[in-house]
Chain A
């Protein structure tokens, strides 16, 4: 039911998710932040049950921090982080799977376009993509991104595509997901561009 999608541009990536936390007929909250910050320059949009979202993203981010401390401050590239994530998903699959589908985006200085986006599912598949979406949202947003995405876009254009997708979902998706959170990962790190509902508001 979760909407998770992302767009990469020249200089970074944009990740957007809805903010609904619900099970069966009950809505727990409308201000959940589903984009986990993994390291200083990477973030992961996660779809799936809240328990797995939290468990998986915290497990990954703490292991990334351990790597950095153990290796004299060397950070893992986004490519390496994505492969680490995929490995953990694959390991857990035949023991106790993490029921999460993720879109991982990060910024590296030495990568041609700066930003790179990876789409992974709970079975352990991993692909590097220019844009991607998980869940039902993909039915609505992929065709928009197919049409609008261009090589060498800037942040403003990428966010425009994201907003276009959100408008489409609000119009055509059965579930009413009124609140979305949009985060950008670029050379300055991870920052929230827009949060319709404040996640820290209890």
Chain B
């Protein structure tokens, strides 16, 4: 016995409201920024203020899908867990049948395909998450993919998902992203973007650098703190310069 009534149906003017509402759920989630550098991909996510009694280590927003791919998401955490598990099984299944690691593009396509399926099946609702998938292509170049609740996937040089200010953050990235950035610069751009939405401080963000071969490193809090202080110092100097030139 299967569910036969669809939940996601067209409106008279061609909208899929359930999908659009799912995108709203993404906007309510915490921000995740992805920046592609010359030989690395940086994922920076906002860590929302936790309850005092909660153990921060159990909240994971940046996860490994496969040995070579890393994922960050924005939106409903429970939906993300389900989708991530499906994708992990798919990655191992690919390795079992093809005796080779799946490319980041393949996994992004799989996630997008799955998200789309849930907009066209009876009895289910769309996943309320958007994802950023980071890794390296077969040719060894860094890649960043984004998927959304509609089931589309696309490659980005830098992208931001989740949070109310995604639009202004994207403008910030468009202004500041350059081709061929070194790792340090890419991390800096990621942190700078996050600082626009997050209260200052390394404890409110989690930065992950993905290097050649898909090796991921979550940056230590002290190192992130140092970068944050440096950015703030520069901002202060910039402000004082403009105010002194006004005189």
Residues of B within 8 A of A62 (CB): 92-93, 95-96
Say yes or no: B88 contacts A66, CB within 8 Å: yes
Residues of A within 8 A of B89 (CB): 66
Say yes or no: A59 contacts B88, CB within 8 Å: no
Name B's interface SS: helix
Asked if A195 is an interface residue, CB under 8 A from chain B, the answer is: no
Q: How far is the CB of A86 from chain B (nearest CB, A)?
A: 20
Residues of B within 8 A of A59 (CB): 96
Residues of B within 8 A of A65 (CB): 67, 92, 95
Say yes or no: B95 contacts A72, CB within 8 Å: no
CB contacts under 8 Å to B, within A57-110, are: 58-59, 62-63, 65-66, 69-70, 72-73
Asked if B64 is an interface residue, CB under 8 A from chain A, the answer is: yes
Say yes or no: A70 contacts B85, CB within 8 Å: yes
Contact-residue size bin, chain B (C-beta under 8 Å from the other chain): 10 to 19
Residues of B within 8 A of A63 (CB): 92
* A70 vs B81: C-alpha distance when bound (angstroms): 10
* A58 vs B100: C-alpha distance when bound (angstroms): 12
Residues of B within 8 A of A66 (CB): 88-89, 92
Residues of A within 8 A of B92 (CB): 62-63, 65-66, 69
Say yes or no: A72 contacts B60, CB within 8 Å: yes
CB contacts under 8 Å to A, within B39-82, are: 60, 64-67
Chain A, residue nearest B84 (CB): A70
Chain A, residues 39-71, CB within 8 Å of chain B (1/0): the string is 000000000000000000011001101100110
Q: How far is the CB of A162 from chain B (nearest CB, A)?
A: 30
Say yes or no: A58 contacts B66, CB within 8 Å: no
Chain A, residues 151-181, CB within 8 Å of chain B (1/0): the string is 0000000000000000000000000000000
Residues of A within 8 A of B95 (CB): 62, 65
Which of A66, A72, A73 is the most central at the interface, judged by chain B CB atoms within 10 Å of its CB? A66
Say yes or no: B96 contacts A69, CB within 8 Å: no
Chain A, residue nearest B96 (CB): A62
Which of A59, A72, A73 is the most central at the interface, judged by chain B CB atoms within 10 Å of its CB? A72
Say yes or no: B88 contacts A70, CB within 8 Å: yes
* A36 vs B98: C-alpha distance when bound (angstroms): 17
Q: How far is the CB of B19 from chain A (nearest CB, A)?
A: 28
Chain A, residue nearest B81 (CB): A70
* A58 vs B85: C-alpha distance when bound (angstroms): 20
Q: How far is the CB of B120 from chain A (nearest CB, A)?
A: 27
Say yes or no: B88 contacts A69, CB within 8 Å: yes
Say yes or no: B66 contacts A69, CB within 8 Å: yes
Chain B, residue nearest A63 (CB): B92
- Set A58, A72, A73: member contacting B96, Cβ < 8 A: A58
* A33 vs B91: C-alpha distance when bound (angstroms): 26
Residues of A within 8 A of B88 (CB): 66, 69-70
* A66 vs B64: C-alpha distance when bound (angstroms): 11
Which of B65, B67, B88, B96 is the most central at the interface, judged by chain A CB atoms within 10 Å of its CB? B96
8 further A-B pairs in the complex, CB-CB below 8 A; given A69-B91, A70-B88: A59-B96, A62-B95, A62-B96, A63-B92, A69-B64, A69-B65, A69-B88, A69-B92
Which A residues are closer than 8 A to B by beta carbons?
58-59, 62-63, 65-66, 69-70, 72-73
Residue pairs across A and B with Cβ atoms less than 8 A apart, 12 shown, are A59-B96, A62-B92, A62-B93, A65-B95, A66-B89, A69-B66, A69-B67, A69-B91, A69-B92, A70-B88, A72-B60, A73-B64
